[in-house]
């Protein structure tokens, strides 16, 4: 069967629009599958973490397509917000397999930072045809970017407007064409319009039509948009001579954007074989290269950068890579992490602090140590690890479950970073547990009690989580459940309150994210905020 979107249309930019749950991601996956099977170069920017299923068979039980995943729950190579350029270097290389860049575990700010580096480098480095899919494209190229996103928006605009000659064929996917930048909307040679109800968004589609196609036909298409079924849409490619209302065929890989049934979590795709170690090695090389290429920094900048690295990145980066190591992807990633950290440290000519020295036999060369007291000062402990300890010390003698502890320490308790810190704290005799509950040891209270900050109020913890689970709808979703607490809410009510479709990919992803952090409780089809978010510290 010939696909409703002709091959010719795929060598140009494509715009896929439709309201939440209309089938945009699903349709785009169908296109990506086809390009990958044809041996084309494909890279998917996946802000919601809904693309990993490409790597599984339709029923999720066997291998799918050989796709490399950067970041996210199913990632082969963990990524951080400062690795955008390095990842772009790999993606632009002729030898890179089709890839997904899963940004779903980053905050809005981190995502922007990663993408700014990525977009600028991939534009410079890419020369061969590359099909770039940008899901939720309005996140990156909004009509009115916030001040911290203008550079990113400019870089993305450049890829779309000037990138054709450098090989870019961009498929932009958005549920809000009205907030996607007009400049890039009009660059699409093919429009795929799925169900779309809001007048504003249909007007934006009209903007495209006016630029490239016939007005009378445009009216016909626009008036039909609100009534379309899921998976049904108009394909319009004036250059290829196509204007059809079609139903998109089923995809052949696992439908990982389908809303998980209540109580069931996302099924992990089975991995097809990819030489991950080789990729990680390359990331290592490029990481170093990038660091070395940076222009010389002033002393003040170096100090700031070092503080930043120590506080936020070094420790977590290393454990993230160790996760990769532990899941059996070879020790290249652990080594890569060591090297990136060592390079950053060399750049700033600072000694390695004790807190980020490895305990597992991969200790970096010891730099000369300044004279110091025999017990490491509390401030030397990495940010996240110190926060975990502070939570227990400041609430001593309370005992907390792992989820409660993670919530209060603002770390995902199922993540590898949390696990690494936990084993270090236990190894140092600072934390004790009975298998279920965790508390600060007497030694921890003696050493750190005086410096431990006052525990944060439950309201502050709630605000933090609402802010970090994601910009926009994910935060609104948690906020709505918090407002309703201790009441329960039906999924459909929650979806309506947050302007999402209860069966769409976005809603499912956000719920999984909340679930993964134990921020919600579920009972049949009912949901409510976790009681852990309401745990006040003792006065």
Ligand X SMILES: Nc1ncnc2c1ncn2[C@@H]1O[C@H](COP(=O)(O)OP(=O)(O)OP(=O)(O)O)[C@@H](O)[C@H]1O
Interaction site with Mg ion (CB under 5 A): 25, 505
**Which residue has its beta carbon closest to ligand X?**
231
**Residue selected from 504, 510, 513, 514 as contacting ligand X according to rule CB under 6 A:** 504
**Residue selected from 4, 5, 10, 25 as contacting ligand X according to rule CB under 6 A:** 25
Query: Which pair of tokens denotes residue 290?
Result: 């990038």
**Residue selected from 14, 15, 23, 424 as contacting ligand X according to rule CB under 6 A:** 23
Contacted by 417, from Mg ion, ligand X, none: CB < 5 to 8 Å by type: none
Q: Judged by CB under 6 A, which stretch of 62-70, 251-259, 268-276, 277-285 contacts ligand X?
A: 251-259
**Residue selected from 10, 13, 15, 24 as contacting ligand X according to rule CB under 6 A:** 24
**Residue selected from 72, 142, 145, 231 as contacting ligand X according to rule CB under 6 A:** 231
For every residue of 17-48, DSSP letters joined together read: E--TTSSHHHHHHHHHHHHHHTT--EEEEETT
Four-residue CA torsion sign, 126, 131, 133, 139 = positive
Residue 138's region, left for phi above 0, alpha for psi from -120 to 50, else beta, is alpha
Q: Distance between CA atoms of 84 and 113, rounded to whole angstroms?
A: 8
The answer to the question of residue 491 lying near ligand X (CB under 6 A) is no
* Number of amino acids touching ligand X (CB under 6 A): 20
Q: CB of 172: closest distance to ligand X in angstroms?
A: 13
Taking residue 3's Cβ as centre, other Cβ atoms within 10 Å add up to: 15
Task: Please name the residue ranges forming H helices in 362-457.
Answer: 383-394, 402-409, 416-427, 442-448
Q: Which residue has the tokens 């990481």?
A: 287
36-75 residues in contact with ligand X (CB under 6 A) are none
Phi, psi of 175 (to 5 degrees): -95, -10
Under DSSP, is residue 346 helix (H, G, I), strand (E, B) or coil? Answer: helix
Question: Under 8 Å CB-to-CB from 472, ≥6 apart: which residues?
Answer: none
The answer to the question of residue 505 lying near ligand X (CB under 6 A) is yes
CB 528 within 8 A of CB 481: yes
The answer to the question of residue 26 lying near ligand X (CB under 6 A) is yes
398-457 residues in contact with ligand X (CB under 6 A) are none
Tell me whether residue 25 or residue 120 sits nearer to Mg ion (CB atom): 25
The answer to the question of residue 230 lying near ligand X (CB under 6 A) is yes
Contacted by 20, from ligand X, Mg ion, none: CB < 5 to 8 Å by type: ligand X
**Which residue has its beta carbon closest to Mg ion?**
25
**Residue selected from 3, 158, 258, 426 as contacting ligand X according to rule CB under 6 A:** 258
CB 115 within 8 A of CB 151: no
Query: Which pair of tokens denotes residue 202?
Result: 């249909």
Tell me whether residue 137 or residue 461 sits nearer to ligand X (CB atom): 137
Contacted by 255, from Mg ion, ligand X, none: CB < 5 to 8 Å by type: ligand X
Q: Judged by CB under 6 A, which stretch of 123-131, 255-263, 331-339, 451-459 contacts ligand X?
A: 255-263
Q: Judged by CB under 6 A, which stretch of 16-24, 97-105, 344-352, 489-497 contacts ligand X?
A: 16-24
Strands of the sheet with 190-193, listed across from one edge:
68-70, 99-102, 42-46, 130-134, 168-174, 14-17, 190-193, 232-237, 242-247
The answer to the question of residue 499 lying near ligand X (CB under 6 A) is no
Tell me whether residue 202 or residue 386 sits nearer to ligand X (CB atom): 202
**Residue selected from 255, 281, 432, 456 as contacting ligand X according to rule CB under 6 A:** 255
CB 517 within 8 A of CB 407: yes
The answer to the question of residue 18 lying near ligand X (CB under 6 A) is yes
159-218 residues in contact with ligand X (CB under 6 A) are 175
Residues shown for the chain: 539
Four-residue CA torsion sign, 527, 504, 508, 46 = negative
Residues that bind ligand X (CB under 6 A): 18, 20-26, 175, 230-231, 248, 250, 255, 257-258, 501, 504-506
């Amino acid at each position: 069967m010939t696909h409703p979107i002709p091959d010719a249309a795929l060598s140009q930019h494509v715009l896929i629009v439709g309201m939440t749950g209309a089938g945009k991601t699903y349709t785009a996956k169908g296109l990506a599958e086809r390009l990958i099977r044809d041996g084309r170069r494909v890279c998917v920017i996946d802000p919601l973490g809904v693309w990993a299923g490409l790597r599984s068979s339709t029923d999720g039980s066997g291998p799918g397509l050989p796709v490399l995943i950067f970041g996210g729950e199913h990632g082969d190579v963990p990524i951080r917000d400062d690795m955008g350029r390095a990842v772009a270097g790999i993606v632009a290389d002729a030898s890179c397999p089709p890839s997904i860049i899963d940004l779903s575990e980053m905050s809005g700010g981190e995502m922007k930072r990663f993408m700014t580096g990525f977009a600028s480098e991939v534009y410079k480095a890419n020369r061969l045809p590359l099909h770039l899919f940008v899901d939720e494209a309005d996140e990156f190229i909004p009509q009115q970017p916030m001040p911290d996103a203008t550079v990113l928006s400019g870089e993305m605009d450049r890829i779309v407007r000037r990138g054709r000659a450098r090989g870019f064929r961009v498929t932009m996917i958005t549920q809000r064409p009205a907030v996607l930048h007009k400049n890039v909307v009009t660059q699409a040679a093919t429009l795929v319009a799925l169900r779309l109800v809001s007048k504003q968004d249909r007007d934006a589609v009209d903007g495209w039509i006016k630029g490239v196609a016939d007005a009378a036909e445009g009216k016909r298409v626009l008036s039909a948009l609100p009534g379309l079924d899921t998976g049904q849409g108009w394909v319009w490619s004036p250059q290829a001579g196509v204007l059809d209302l079609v139903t998109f065929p089923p995809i052949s890989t696992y439908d990982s954007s389908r809303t998980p049934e209540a109580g069931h979590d996302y099924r992990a795709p089975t991995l097809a074989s990819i030489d991950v170690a080789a990729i990680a090695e390359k990331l290592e090389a490029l990481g170093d290269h990038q660091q070395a290429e940076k222009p010389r920094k002033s002393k003040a900048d170096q100090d700031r950068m070092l503080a930043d690295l120590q506080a936020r990145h070094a420790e977590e980066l290393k454990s993230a890579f160790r996760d990769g190591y532990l899941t059996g992807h070879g020790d290249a990633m652990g080594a890569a992490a060591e090297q990136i950290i060592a390079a950053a440290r060399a750049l700033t000519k600072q000694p390695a602090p004790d807190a980020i020295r490895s305990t597992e036999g991969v200790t970096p060369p010891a730099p000369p140590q300044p004279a110091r007291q025999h017990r490491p000062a509390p401030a030397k402990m990495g940010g996240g690890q110190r926060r975990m300890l502070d939570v227990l010390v400041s609430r001593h003698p309370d005992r907390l479950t792992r989820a409660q502890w993670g919530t209060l320490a603002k770390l995902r308790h199922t993540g590898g970073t949390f696990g690494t810190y936990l084993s270090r704290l236990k190894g140092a005799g600072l934390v004790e547990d009975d298998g279920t509950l965790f508390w600060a040891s007497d030694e921890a209270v003696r050493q750190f009690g005086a410096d431990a900050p006052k525990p944060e109020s439950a309201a502050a913890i709630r605000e933090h989580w609402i802010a970090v689970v994601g910009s926009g709808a994910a935060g609104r979703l948690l906020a709505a459940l918090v407002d309703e607490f201790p009441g329960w809410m039906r999924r459909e009510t929650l979806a309506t309150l947050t302007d999402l479709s209860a069966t769409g990919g976005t809603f499912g992803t956000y719920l999984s994210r909340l679930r993964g952090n134990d921020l919600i409780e579920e009972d049949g089809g009912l949901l409510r905020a976790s009681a852990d978010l309401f745990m006040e510290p003792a006065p």
